[in-house]
Structure 1
Amino acid sequence: MSVSHRIGHGLLRALVNPAGRRFRAGLQDVEAVQRAALSRLLSRVAGAPRDQVLPPVDADWRWEQFAEALPVTGYQDWQQVIERQRSFGEGALIRSPVARYQPTSGSTSGVKWLPYTDLFLHQLNSAIGAWLYDLYRQYPRMAGGSHYWSVSWLPNDMRRLADAHINDDMKLLSSGRRLLASLTQAAPESISLAGTSEDAQFATLVYLVADSQLSVLSVWSPSFALTLFDRLFDWRDELVEVLRQGQWGRRGDSLRHLPCPRSVRAAAILHEWQGVPDSTLFAALWPKLALISAWDTAASATWAEALKALLPHAAFQGKGLWATEGVVTFPWQGETPLAYQSHVYEFEDLDSGRILPPWALRTGQEVQPLLSTGTGLLRYRMQDRVRVSGHLGSVPCLTFLGRDDGVDMVGEKLSAVFVQQVLDGLPLDEGQRVVTLLAAQDSDGQGRAGYLLLLDSDQPRTPDNTVRLAEALDAALGKQFHYTLARNLGQLAPARVLCRMHMRERYLGLCRDLGMIEGNIKIEPLRLWPGTLPVALRDVMAAAPGEADRCAV
């Protein structure tokens, strides 16, 4: 281990220890911590020159008064004010300087911008500090090398904004933690400034492959890591040459701001490699890898298993529930407790519709989080469904079940959680993996809505079971009364199945084409696709008409 790694890990551990101890100390009285957090937040919000269209806020409100006085909100309630503040600097949602505006995108929406204030970043740091504190205790080998904390990139047409809005895990840390963490990083955050996403991916691979001391690989979506690894084959010859020479070659203009790593060792491993990503390759590249961190629940579970299979010599830890709007849970001693030291939290019981404080949650409830944060957004509804799995002291632990923003094209009313259950029950053949179920508003080129299941396959030929799977899919979706009614009325085309090698990468490419943010694209069980199907899918379907055969109603 290098001297910089040793110093960086030692100082970072010392810096996050207070956050970890504070999180542990408050576990027995979540109500007191949350009430105090609301009081501090309201004092900041009430003193801000908020836009006149927003309801007034009283700094002296108690919890019950706050919950009664303000409505539950969504991004549409804040968008006009945020855009005015972002464009003209008018007004403010909270008394705290805006460090930057962070882009995010959902499964059915375009890019949204969230004001990342100093206070909000401090709230995130509270959760990150406690998480790192626990990570170092749970996985001590991670202190023995370098770390990769995912750097994800804006779409190419948004890169003129990149200096201010790099979408980088490191930018969630305070300046002090960023400085210390940079001593341990395998890849510099300035990779985000590459001319294109492809060049950023290439540079990331060069840095990672060249680093034999890599001990932590942290990404959000496991499909992001898998796609990155697929590029090893696509770019092998170029990677070997760059690693041998220590020069960027044809990508020099795009990556001129980055020093190019040189590793004769890594170049030799790739040169001798047979071309199939497997555990032998990654064990040779990263013998010290101690921990992989990625989403592993709901629709990400399949891809997390694939990532684990490639890196079996490292431990795996699932992420908690993080979103651009805030943090809900993070891993702590094998559980995923509420990040109760960060924001102010409420939960809507999805059975009764009642909105509850965190101290009123009971094991087994399925709820939807409402966040009030240092961004100035209050009672902001997250489109996530979670189940209360237990408690650490008085703090609820929550299991992510899936997104709760369903699809209703013609009245079929399908929820993402229901669709996930359907997909989990399909009789897939070995080597088949669900990518997503597309809800296409024009699924057949004739304006009729319908559902298309995308499957990734290990086999180069078209599987024989696609028609059978389409029938099973249609029947399972038909357990929802409104779907069956829409099918019977001819409002929905029959469900179809499209299975191909590399379908995951095809789909992620389509998401990038829509302008979604690289690295944060989360494979979800259900995604609305407006307009006609993408050309890339229609061409594949045209080449395999048998897969579009009508299934039984």
Structure 2
Amino acid sequence: MFQPVLKGVHRAYMVSLRGRWRQFQRAANKPRKAQEARLRSLLSVRRDTAFAREHQLDGVDSFAAFQDRVPIRNYQDMAPWIERIANGEKRVLTRAPVRLMERSRGAAGEVKLVPYTDALFSEFAAATGPWLRELSVGCPELMGTRSYWGMTPLPHKRERTPGGIPIGMNDDREYFSPLARFALRRPRAVRSRVRRVADPSAWRQQTIKELLDCGDLGMISVWHPTFLIAIMEELAQNLEAILNEIKPARRAAILSSLDEAGDLVGEAVWPRLRLLSCYGEGPSAELIPNLRAWFPKAHIQPKGLIATEGIVSFPLWGGTGNVLAVTSHFLEFQDLEAPNARPCLADELRLGGTYSPIITTAGGLTRYHLEDAVRCVGFHGSTPCIEFLGRLDMTANLAGEKLSEAVVRRAIEIAHWETNIEPRFVLCTPVNSPKARYRLFLERKGSEGDLTNFQFCLERQLQESDGYRSARKHGLLAELELIEVKGGWDTFQRVRRREGLAVPDRQDQAYLDLHPIWEHAFQKGQSTTRAEINSDL
């Protein structure tokens, strides 16, 4: 693609974002006023709906009245309303029609459907527009380059709910405005039709091939760092074979750059690469050093707090933390140090305080508790900036799998029943290096039984969870590793005390622990993995 065309598309689009940026800047200086306007608008889109009638929202004229009329909800509370929408009922949560349903996974592996209206897409665009404007100013080298926006394979046939509503988006660009999608479509590095490749291995190979063919790649935006790490690991293992699949001129250019760099690093493959956008806070922060080793020169920008249900914050170039998206949804925050108090409004967060977001969106979710933990780390204007700390529930998320303690516990129980190996102590931890995977430390009663079978049963059971199975299938997670240990419970207590962590009663010990402190803690015996275990179990 000719560089003048790319630069022209970029320049025209960035000029169009000036208004969005100025609007956000005004709101950031007066977040209470901005949030008042958002709540009025969101109550308006709910007028004459089944939800508004049940909660008597017509008379709401203040934040306090809204909080008093509508209790805080989780997905299970919203599910009956969403099921009515999925079955074709109109005006359930919003007056506007639902354009599509998007899948999200719960901590226990269950599939959740989130309704999307045009107004909800506009709310996302109210945050992504200022973010892209900031990128154009902070990183002008992106001008005239192409970008890759994360995508995963689509089903052969577009799925629909019983009421005929489509399920699923095409790719991450759906979160942007129509003009943004047009602008981003022109300089894309990987064709959207690659998402129609159903086989995960073939999809991954085609994605890598098209990325390698893109010599002017400037930006990569994906959700999880594990995706990029897996791509670079595959290049390292099969570089010659993969390079033989791309255009000869591009192959020669890459080989020349690799000779000059003396090592396989991302900037040698893509000399114009300047920005990696991915999760980088909370548990994902541990993956960033591994990602940095593959991309030593590119700027790694952690994404804000973005969920399928809504957007809470987005990053600013060179800023501390991620600024609250006060022009998107109506935001409330449960103070985790005073959980029984009335939730705070966006402008009431205090520096250093820890909170859990509650969102009300144009898609119909009302006072919806995201069950994430965040900390206020600064301010942009008068609007708080936050960092993501992790989930309130015990959930690990290395590559989008959202593996809960309950799922791990159930898998261990089933492995015990099937193999007759009785655990005396067990602890499962996420591991980021050298490859993302889960590691199970096991001390058993007696010495009978085959640990290889225990590990096989455990891996098979974990793959009953859609998120874990998908991450394994797409090469983002390696198989679970089982390590036999001695003195497990005594070591567990000693290490937690040393780290200043509470020690639970033995019967209350969680089987999943997210703290990165266990790799060298235990006296290790046999280590068990099975190379033949794969996602076809």
Question: What is the TM-score when the length of structure 1 is the normalising length?
Answer: 0.73
Task: Give the equivalent residue in structure 1 for 2:36.
Answer: 35
SS of match in other structure, 1:321: coil
Q: For residues 432-457 of structure 1, give each alpha carbon's deviation from its aligned partner in whole angstroms, at most 9, with x where no partner exists.
A: xxx99884334363356942235455
1:6 counterpart = 2:27: no
Two-structure CA RMSD over aligned residues (Å):
3.8
1:172 to 170, 175, 178: 175
- Match runs of 1:462-541 below 5 Å: 472-473=491-492, 475-477=494-496, 483-486=504-507, 541=528
CA distance in 1, matches of 2:370, 2:212: 37
Q: For residues 17-68 of structure 1, give each alpha carbon's deviation from its aligned partner in whole angstroms, at most 9, with x where no partner exists.
A: 211111112222111110111011101112334497x533226432111011
SS of match in other structure, 2:232: helix
Tell me, yes or no, if the aligned pair for 2:21 and 2:129 is still in contact at 8 Å: yes
- Match runs of 1:392-431 below 5 Å: 392-406=380-394
Tell me, yes or no, if the aligned pair for 1:477 and 1:483 is still in contact at 8 Å: no
Tell me, yes or no, if the aligned pair for 2:46 and 2:52 is still in contact at 8 Å: no
CA distance in 2, matches of 1:271, 1:470: 52
- Cα distance change, pair 406–224 in 1 and its aligned pair in 2 (3 A): same
1:21 counterpart = 2:7: no
| Alpha-carbon shift at residue 476 of structure 1 (Å) | 3.8
Which amino acid letter does the alignment assign opposite residue 405 of structure 1? D
SS of match in other structure, 2:32: helix
- Cα distance change, pair 291–274 in 1 and its aligned pair in 2 (3 A): closer
1:188 counterpart = 2:191: yes
CA distance in 2, matches of 1:327, 1:279: 38
Task: Give the equivalent residue in structure 2 for 1:242.
Answer: 245
Tell me, yes or no, if the aligned pair for 2:329 and 2:359 is still in contact at 8 Å: yes
Gaps of 5+ in 2: 418-422, 436-480, 517-525, 532-537
1:308 counterpart = 2:292: yes
1:68 counterpart = 2:68: yes
SS of match in other structure, 1:26: helix
- Cα distance change, pair 457–297 in 1 and its aligned pair in 2 (3 A): closer
Task: Give the equivalent residue in structure 2 for 1:146.
Answer: 146
Task: Give the equivalent residue in structure 2 for 1:327.
Answer: 311
Tell me, yes or no, if the aligned pair for 2:3 and 2:144 is still in contact at 8 Å: no
| Alpha-carbon shift at residue 105 of structure 1 (Å) | 1.1
1:345 to 318, 321, 331: 331
Q: For residues 199-232 of structure 1, give each alpha carbon's deviation from its aligned partner in whole angstroms, at most 9, with x where no partner exists.
A: 2222211111001100111111101111122232
- Cα distance change, pair 217–473 in 1 and its aligned pair in 2 (3 A): farther
Task: Give the equivalent residue in structure 1 for 2:121.
Answer: 121
| Alpha-carbon shift at residue 163 of structure 1 (Å) | 7.9
Tell me, yes or no, if the aligned pair for 2:50 and 2:93 is still in contact at 8 Å: yes
CA distance in 2, matches of 1:301, 1:468: 30
SS of match in other structure, 1:83: helix
Question: What is the TM-score when the length of structure 2 is the normalising length?
Answer: 0.75
SS of match in other structure, 1:65: helix
| Alpha-carbon shift at residue 375 of structure 1 (Å) | 0.8
Which amino acid letter does the alignment assign opposite residue 486 of structure 1? Q
- Match runs of 1:131-280 below 5 Å: 131-153=131-153, 165-166=168-169, 168-233=171-236, 236=239, 239-243=242-246, 263-268=247-252, 280=264
CA distance in 2, matches of 1:436, 1:405: 8
SS of match in other structure, 2:28: coil
| Alpha-carbon shift at residue 119 of structure 1 (Å) | 0.5
Tell me, yes or no, if the aligned pair for 1:279 and 1:311 is still in contact at 8 Å: no
Which amino acid letter does the alignment assign opposite residue 332 of structure 2? E
CA distance in 1, matches of 2:141, 2:486: 49
| Alpha-carbon shift at residue 191 of structure 1 (Å) | 2.1
SS of match in other structure, 1:216: strand
| Alpha-carbon shift at residue 164 of structure 1 (Å) | 5.1
Q: For residues 108-142 of structure 1, give each alpha carbon's deviation from its aligned partner in whole angstroms, at most 9, with x where no partner exists.
A: 23211111110100000000001001111111111
Tell me, yes or no, if the aligned pair for 1:51 and 1:81 is still in contact at 8 Å: no
Instruction: Report which stretch shifted further, 92-101 or 178-187.
Output: 92-101
- Cα distance change, pair 149–471 in 1 and its aligned pair in 2 (3 A): farther
Instruction: Report which stretch shifted further, 56-65 or 132-141.
Output: 56-65
Instruction: Report which stretch shifted further, 36-45 or 7-16.
Output: 7-16
Tell me, yes or no, if the aligned pair for 1:39 and 1:59 is still in contact at 8 Å: no
Tell me, yes or no, if the aligned pair for 1:279 and 1:309 is still in contact at 8 Å: no
Q: For residues 260-300 of structure 1, give each alpha carbon's deviation from its aligned partner in whole angstroms, at most 9, with x where no partner exists.
A: xxx2134346779999x995442232001111111111211
- Cα distance change, pair 23–457 in 1 and its aligned pair in 2 (3 A): closer
- Cα distance change, pair 377–163 in 1 and its aligned pair in 2 (3 A): closer
SS of match in other structure, 1:178: helix
Instruction: Report which stretch shifted further, 145-154 or 174-183.
Output: 145-154
CA distance in 1, matches of 2:152, 2:257: 27
CA distance in 2, matches of 1:318, 1:309: 16
| Alpha-carbon shift at residue 377 of structure 1 (Å) | 0.8
Task: Give the equivalent residue in structure 1 for 2:370.
Answer: 382
| Alpha-carbon shift at residue 234 of structure 1 (Å) | 5.4
CA distance in 1, matches of 2:483, 2:394: 31
Give the count of matched residue pairs: 454
| Alpha-carbon shift at residue 368 of structure 1 (Å) | 0.4
CA distance in 2, matches of 1:30, 1:43: 20
Task: Give the equivalent residue in structure 2 for 1:453.
Answer: 429
